[in-house]
Amino acid sequence: MNRGAFTEALAERLFHARREGGQVALFVIDLDRFKHLNDTLGHHAGDLLLAEVGERLRWAAAPGELMARLGGDEFAVISPVADVGRRAQELVTALSQPHDIYGRQIAPGASVGVAVFPQDAADASDLQRYADMALYRVKTGGGRRWSAFDAELRAESERRRTLEAELRRAIPAGEIEPWFQPVVDAADGRIVGVEVLARWRHPEQGLLAPGAFVPIAEELGLIGRIDEAVFEAACARAAPWVAEGLIEHVSCNVSPRDLLDPAFSRKLIRRLGQTALSATALCVEITETFLLQDLALSRRHIERLAAKGVNIALDDFGTGYSNLRALMHLPIQTVKLDRSLIADVAKDARVSRLVGSMLHAARALGVSIVAEGVEDPAQAIFLRAAGCDRMQGYLFDRPMPADALETRLRAVAAEASPRVAPARRRARA
């Protein structure tokens, strides 16, 4: 049974329960270590394991229960049982027994979240949402348990609803603003560019980082409008800095969701045209995951932007497949080495060799490298010696509001000797 058929079946069960005064429990189940097992044992073993789990669930079904695989390693059970806690524990136990996969005993472990109609939720979509929230709480607590939707989760759900409403209001109100994190030249430490990062100046909660609102904005389909607002405001502030030679480039992040829009690059070029920022000063950061999601579409966007002179950077490089082929075949000028690699670069000899060879490969392809998340001098020393071009991180500067950055940039420019500044400007012209 697929997700669509399952949602229909759930609605039907609720319809009958509503008429006859019954209750319906929805259990959602997630295997704890499926991704790890799939990665280490291979997709065949993974598929076999999922089939086994499905089989075991059907076998464990109580009278009147309906089982479904919702996709990936996610399963669900619609149940009329009265003792929800006992049933949840039975499911956890049943799925925690080892499976025999190619002669190996594999115990992936399972987490279960449950919500009940009518006491928790009045309709199918809330019931699913609440069961998912309960499951999520188990997962973040380490898994191998079950959890039921309760007062704590209800409070969290209300907080989320409030946040949703506030977010819809915040965008037109201009509460989402661009902050800027300096990117420095690895050789001499001078600020050569900025990465634009969104901050929400919430009227009551103060300043919120993207982690607090971007996931919700993505779910609500508001991320495009946020990116647009931040992009426009950032260009307006940063264009004069570029024009005066205070910085060379402005980097903007693009969410994978935006990139799925086939018209994305055309819209971006049009919006850029309405700002005072020149195309060659703009850098668009695209995550590697998106390249893998839809190579044809990313190629179209990247080529269209590059043709206008916009720089393309591959963000979070080193977390995914580190696709060197993409660097060879697409007009990508910059790679941003992920902070997770940089964190260990001066501590772990294997990581430093890996980063060293990545820098070497990127140089061979004519791609420039920015190291992200540089936090201590040892990292900077290693990266500089290994030929990294630019760096960004707390060692140099945290993200800051436009006014603070402008003050800094002007102070640096005023400090620079009058003989050096014009020479630099000429060199760039």
- Using CB under 5 A, list all residues that contact Mg ion: 253, 285, 315
| CB of 285 vs Mg ion, minimal distance in Å | 4
β-pair type (249-253, 206-208): unpaired
User: What's the Cα-to-Cα distance from 398 to each of 183, 334, 373, rounded to whole Å?
Assistant: 10, 21, 10
Here the tokens at position 8 are: 């229909």
| CB of 184 vs Mg ion, minimal distance in Å | 16
| CB of 239 vs Mg ion, minimal distance in Å | 20
- Which residue, 38 or 253, has its beta carbon nearer to Mg ion? 253
> Do residues 409 and 242 touch, judged by C-beta distance below 8 A?
no
- Which residue, 285 or 389, has its beta carbon nearer to Mg ion? 285
| CB of 315 vs Mg ion, minimal distance in Å | 4
Distance from C-alpha of 327 to C-alpha of 336, rounded to nearest angstrom: 12
Q: In terms of residues, how long is the chain?
A: 429
Question: Across the strands, what pairs with 197?
Answer: 179
Q: By CB neighbour count within 10 A (0-12 exposed, 13-18 middle, 19+ buried), where does 417 fall?
A: exposed
| CB of 195 vs Mg ion, minimal distance in Å | 6
β-pair type (146-148, 110-117): parallel
Q: Which residues contact 237 (CB under 8 A, 6 or more apart)?
A: 178, 180, 402, 406
Amino acid at position 403, single letter: D
Buried b (16+ CB within 10 A) or exposed e, 290-302: bbeeeeebbeebb
| CB of 248 vs Mg ion, minimal distance in Å | 17
- Which residue, 115 or 286, has its beta carbon nearer to Mg ion? 286
- Which residue, 196 or 277, has its beta carbon nearer to Mg ion? 196
- Which residue, 315 or 397, has its beta carbon nearer to Mg ion? 315
- Which residue, 79 or 287, has its beta carbon nearer to Mg ion? 287
